[in-house]
Chain A
Amino acid sequence: MEILWKVENLKKEYEIRTEFKKEKIIVLKNINIEIFKGEIFGLVGESGSGKTTFGKVLIRLIEPDQGKIFYKNIDITEIPEKILRKYRKNFQIIFQDPYKSLNPRIRCGYAVMEGIEGNVKEKIEKAIEILNLVGIKKERFNDYPHQFSGGERQRIAIARALSTNPEFIVCDEPTSNLDVSIQGQILNLFIDLKEKFNLTYLFITHNLKIARFLTDRIAVMFKGEIVEIGKTEEIFKNPSHPYTEKLLKSEI
């Protein structure tokens, strides 16, 4: 299988300023991951373990302190921002809260049009096509985000991510703010889109039920470290790290 992402010794520290001194908190320490093309790679762990930071560092929304990130064997840690932009359209991110990730003053159709190249007519046609794909009807092209329900907004956020024809999408807890019934619809949509566009996902979640259902391989994160990595089935069957065991036990 082709390796899409290769991460070597990734490190990230945040500086926290208290009254008298500066403290350093290690958010990611020595992370080594390979993500293959066409797989759904799950990242699980409790809140504060550094899952989201990893997702953002991977596509360089946050600069890493140390380590190397290879995208298709190209080292993207050293590339200047200007050239990185060319790659940027290949990887997208979908956030947890669709209420915060859409601009309330931009109509949904225009929000999707932003990432599409071409003249206005082409842009509109393509935006309608993508919205239709995620299940938003043509008639709602001119509606504002507040006119949509939570599930529909997440669909628009997905449409926005798809608008640049990406190869890889970071999904940062995309269903944790949704109802159980809507969650099922969105998960189905993710599976459909993956098959249709041959996508690769990094799926960040704290919901083990979803991780088990959706992902091919899984990495368990604990306090900034990856404690276990492997095929989803095997990890769920016999977890080797005590933290993974604890995590599995807390499933209701």
Chain B
Amino acid sequence: MEEILKLENICVGNEELKILKDIDFSIKRNEIVSIVGESGCGKSMTLRTIIKLLPKNLKILDGEVIFEGIRLKDLNEKEMNKIRGKKIGMIFQEPSSYLNPLFTIGNQIEEAIRENLNKEEKKERVIKVLEETGLSANVYYQYPHQLSGGMQQRAMIAMALINNPSLLLADEPTTSLDVTTAFTIINLLKNLVDQHNLSILLVTHDISLANYISDRIIVMYAGIIVETGKAKEIYENPLHPYTKKLIECLPEKYKKGEKIKTIKGEVPLLKNLFPGCPFSPRCDYKMKICEEKVPIEINFENRTLRCFKYGDIVES
């Protein structure tokens, strides 16, 4: 299958610290890929690197983002704006803070259309997309406060899809929603993949959700990718100690009265990073080498892994 997005050894940061190191993955057409990790692991930063919307004090130090064969590094701001929204759509965690309370939903979605259409055509198109996301045509005339959280998120998805993008970036799209609505939104995203010929890169901290929706999972920790592989394989047979711990702390893995095994400690602040594997202070399998060097990526059977437990190949 054709690769739609490819990140090659991306490093992001400034003179003082690197927040992303050697991020290397690709997304194929019609594929859903999830990035999983705790807060502060660099998941959202990875998304922002792709559309080149990094905070001012950070820049891409090294590596390439290749989207549909185009090297995004070479594009200037004007050319980049043609890709944002048109080729790459994005949805966020809290829909209410991204919708303007003073304009109707129809108005706001129409604004996002990049093609030159007349009024009637625009309206027709907006209503079509609204219906595809499971909203009624009536929503076109409504204001954001008249919609529930789930409906607002649907409107956001409609807005992201209005230009028929080929890639959708979703930054924790269901975190602020309750179970039943989250479930319908996730199923909606799943169905859109085939309908719109779409690929989705989803960021979440819930690995069971990632397992449900995605084809592949990428586990990140402190700015590096520690494990990637097929969703089912990762969820059922995690290899990296961090992935194991992430799955272990889900409450559904325990019976009543048992203690949840949690991950001791916290994600390290990036300015306090030491030369070794960043997970080693919290790891049960820590060896001497873990404190000295960052393990390099091991590749086997569609899986990549960074851990000395599975062979101590040292970067020269």
Tell me if A232 counts as interface (CB < 8 A to partner B).
yes
Expressed in whole angstroms, the Cα–Cα distance for A209 and B182 within the complex equals 14
Tell me if B132 counts as interface (CB < 8 A to partner A).
no
Indicate whether A180 sits within 8 Å of B256 (C-beta atoms), given known contacts A48-B148, A252-B183: no
A181 B251 Cβ-Cβ under 8 A: no
Neighbouring A residues of B266 by C-beta, 8 Å: 149
Tell me if A212 counts as interface (CB < 8 A to partner B).
yes
Number of interface residues of A (CB under 8 A): 31
CB distance from B198 to the nearest CB of A (A): 20
Neighbouring A residues of B39 by C-beta, 8 Å: 150, 179
**Closest B-chain residue to A207, C-beta based?**
B179
Question: What mask results when residues 163 to 178 of chain B are scored 1 for a CB within 8 Å of chain A, else 0?
Answer: 0000000000000011
Expressed in whole angstroms, the Cα–Cα distance for A209 and B256 within the complex equals 11
Tell me if B262 counts as interface (CB < 8 A to partner A).
yes
Neighbouring A residues of B209 by C-beta, 8 Å: 252
A252 B178 Cβ-Cβ under 8 A: no
Neighbouring A residues of B148 by C-beta, 8 Å: 47-48
A188 B250 Cβ-Cβ under 8 A: no
Tell me if A214 counts as interface (CB < 8 A to partner B).
yes
Indicate whether A183 sits within 8 Å of B251 (C-beta atoms), given known contacts A149-B266, A252-B208, A252-B209: yes
Neighbouring B residues of A149 by C-beta, 8 Å: 266
Indicate whether A179 sits within 8 Å of B205 (C-beta atoms), given known contacts A47-B149, A206-B178, A252-B212: yes
Expressed in whole angstroms, the Cα–Cα distance for A223 and B18 within the complex equals 50
A187 B260 Cβ-Cβ under 8 A: yes
Expressed in whole angstroms, the Cα–Cα distance for A208 and B262 within the complex equals 19
Tell me if B38 counts as interface (CB < 8 A to partner A).
yes
Expressed in whole angstroms, the Cα–Cα distance for A206 and B178 within the complex equals 6
Indicate whether A232 sits within 8 Å of B256 (C-beta atoms), given known contacts A180-B246, A252-B212: yes
Q: List 19 A-B contacts (CB under 8 A).
A: A47-B149, A47-B177, A150-B39, A180-B207, A181-B262, A183-B251, A188-B259, A209-B250, A210-B251, A212-B251, A212-B256, A213-B252, A213-B254, A214-B251, A246-B180, A247-B180, A251-B183, A252-B182, A252-B208
Tell me if A184 counts as interface (CB < 8 A to partner B).
yes
Tell me if A238 counts as interface (CB < 8 A to partner B).
no
B260 A180 Cβ-Cβ under 8 A: no
Expressed in whole angstroms, the Cα–Cα distance for A207 and B174 within the complex equals 13
Give the top 4 A-B pairs by smallest Cβ distance, nearest first: A250-B183, A184-B249, A206-B178, A184-B260
| A-B contacts at CB below 8 angstroms, number | 84
**Closest B-chain residue to A175, C-beta based?**
B251
A191 B252 Cβ-Cβ under 8 A: no
Expressed in whole angstroms, the Cα–Cα distance for A184 and B262 within the complex equals 6
Neighbouring A residues of B207 by C-beta, 8 Å: 180
Tell me if B245 counts as interface (CB < 8 A to partner A).
yes
B256 A181 Cβ-Cβ under 8 A: no
Indicate whether A251 sits within 8 Å of B38 (C-beta atoms), given known contacts A184-B262, A187-B260: no
Neighbouring B residues of A184 by C-beta, 8 Å: 249-251, 260-263
**Closest A-chain residue to B148, C-beta based?**
A48
Tell me if B206 counts as interface (CB < 8 A to partner A).
yes
B212 A250 Cβ-Cβ under 8 A: no
A191 B183 Cβ-Cβ under 8 A: no
CB distance from B288 to the nearest CB of A (A): 26
Tell me if A185 counts as interface (CB < 8 A to partner B).
yes
Neighbouring B residues of A48 by C-beta, 8 Å: 148
Expressed in whole angstroms, the Cα–Cα distance for A207 and B254 within the complex equals 15
CB distance from B32 to the nearest CB of A (A): 14
B250 A180 Cβ-Cβ under 8 A: yes
A214 B205 Cβ-Cβ under 8 A: no
CB distance from A187 to the nearest CB of B (A): 6
Tell me if A46 counts as interface (CB < 8 A to partner B).
yes
Neighbouring A residues of B179 by C-beta, 8 Å: 46, 206-208, 247, 250-251
A188 B251 Cβ-Cβ under 8 A: no
B245 A181 Cβ-Cβ under 8 A: yes
Question: What mask results when residues 184 to 213 of chain A are scored 1 for a CB within 8 Å of chain B, else 0?
Answer: 110110010000000000000011111011
Expressed in whole angstroms, the Cα–Cα distance for A191 and B207 within the complex equals 24
**Closest B-chain residue to A216, C-beta based?**
B256
Tell me if B186 counts as interface (CB < 8 A to partner A).
yes
**Closest B-chain residue to A191, C-beta based?**
B259
Residues of B235-286 contacting chain A, CB below 8 A: 245-246, 249-252, 254-256, 259-263, 266
Q: A180-B249, A188-B260, A251-B183 are in contact. List 20 more A-B contacts (CB 8 A).
A: A46-B179, A46-B180, A46-B181, A48-B148, A184-B250, A184-B251, A185-B262, A187-B251, A187-B260, A206-B178, A206-B179, A209-B252, A213-B254, A213-B256, A213-B260, A247-B179, A250-B182, A252-B183, A252-B208, A252-B212
